[in-house]
Amino acid sequence: MRKHTTAAALAAVSALTLAACSSATPGETGGEDGGDAAESIKIGIKYDQPGLGLQEGSDFTGFDVDVARYVAAELGYAEDQIEFVETVSANRETALQNGDVDMIFATYSINDERKALVDFAGPYFVAGQDFLVKADDDSIEGPEDLEGKNLCSVTGSTSAQKIKDEYASGVELVEQPGYAECMTALESGTVDAVTTDDIILAGLAANQADPSAFKVVGNPFSEENYGVGLPKGSDQCEAINEAITKMIDDGTWEQLITANTEGTGYEFNAELNPPEPAACA
């Protein structure tokens, strides 16, 4: 999840994406009557998560982005038919409900509260909630250690509230609009820790000017199933699940994980990954 991926990794991802794009003809799954697919598809992603969803100028990189490209290709969309739209945590349900996006690949954990508002395909990855702290801070080893401390997370994320509700009622929650602001607060000492999923934290640390100044605690205490957010009543769930299954079976899934986490020291939980997409409702 480094800001600058190696040339070899970029070449691997590019080849995988092109292969995926050639595997489906536009219209195979895009139209209800079997006709041509829509002219474009709007996909919600994060713009500030290195290794997962990151915008740099006109380029979009990361595991979520690569999975989105693969799935879109399987649905019949060429690369130039994909429009990426920034979708922050607090606005994901609204974006789907208002038709601002057709689907979302944005570290979007599946839970019952969200399922009441939107539909999900997947999951396509399972992460675990953890903490990012300064490298010399050994006072935080688990969620119970946040009692009386300041904890940062982004607006719309459930991570920090979960700690307050279940582990440390005296924690002081500090919400910021994005992870960049949380990192600034951590660096300045305004907060003691940043919490979200381990794979996100690894990318945030690796993207700093001095990555050695921070560390992921390395004690995940939850399972976060990343799903593809869809509007309620969408008929795309099964086709997306088929695409995810194909991506896993043909080896693309693991190659994309490797390319996007190279150099961070991150290792995915092999007991949980790759996941098996759940049956569509």
pLDDT in tens, 111-149: 999 999 999 999 999 999 999 999 999 999 999 999 999
> How many residues belong to the chain?
281
**Residues 77-98: b if buried by 16+ CB within 10 A, e if exposed:** beeebbebeebbbebbbebbee
Do 45 and 171 have their domain in common?
Answer: no
Tell me what pLDDT residue 5 has: 41
Do 27 and 141 have their domain in common?
Answer: no
**Contact of 223 with 125, CB cutoff 8 Å:** no
Least confident of 13-22, 89-98, 119-128, 231-240: 13-22
Do 27 and 77 have their domain in common?
Answer: yes
Domain assignment present for 270: no
Residue 23 has pLDDT above 80, yes or no: no
Residue 168 has pLDDT above 80, yes or no: yes
Tell me what pLDDT residue 182 has: 95
Do 158 and 210 have their domain in common?
Answer: yes
CA distance 143 to 120: 28
Domain assignment present for 278: no
CA distances 17 to 22, 44, 66, Å, are 9, 18, 7
Domain assignment present for 54: yes
Domain assignment present for 272: no
Domain assignment present for 268: no
Q: How do 53-56 and 48-49 pair as beta strands?
A: antiparallel
Do 133 and 40 have their domain in common?
Answer: no
Do 115 and 147 have their domain in common?
Answer: no
Least confident of 14-23, 136-145, 217-226: 14-23
Domain coverage including residue 143: 129-216
Do 58 and 80 have their domain in common?
Answer: yes
Residue 155: helix, strand or coil by DSSP? coil
Tell me what pLDDT residue 56 has: 94
Q: What is the pLDDT of residues 81-107, one digit of tens each?
A: 999 999 998 899 999 999 999 999 999
**Contact of 192 with 140, CB cutoff 8 Å:** yes
Q: CB within 8 A of 142, min separation 6: which ones? A: 167, 217, 219, 221
User: What is the number of other CB atoms lying within 10 angstroms of the CB of residue 172?
Assistant: 15
Percent of the chain with pLDDT over 90: 73
Domain assignment present for 280: no
Do 11 and 59 have their domain in common?
Answer: yes
Q: How do 193-197 and 150-154 pair as beta strands?
A: parallel
Do 51 and 144 have their domain in common?
Answer: no
Do 196 and 255 have their domain in common?
Answer: no
Question: Quick one: pLDDT band at residue 20, thresholds 50, 70, 90?
Answer: very low
Domain assignment present for 167: yes
Do 115 and 228 have their domain in common?
Answer: yes
CA distances 276 to 119, 132, 166, 232, 243, Å, are 17, 28, 28, 22, 12
**Contact of 239 with 75, CB cutoff 8 Å:** yes
Higher pLDDT, 81 or 206: 81
For tokens 């043909």, name the residue. Answer: 250
Residue 17 has pLDDT above 90, yes or no: no
Do 122 and 16 have their domain in common?
Answer: yes
User: What is the number of other CB atoms lying within 10 angstroms of the CB of residue 136?
Assistant: 7
Domain assignment present for 55: yes
User: What is the number of other CB atoms lying within 10 angstroms of the CB of residue 75?
Assistant: 24
- The number of folded domains in the chain is 2
Percent of the chain with pLDDT over 70: 86
Write the CATH number for 39: 3.40.190.10
Tell me what pLDDT residue 38 has: 65
The pLDDT mean for the chain works out to 87
Average pLDDT of the segment spanning 214-225: 92
Average pLDDT of the segment spanning 216-225: 92
User: What is the number of other CB atoms lying within 10 angstroms of the CB of residue 217?
Assistant: 21
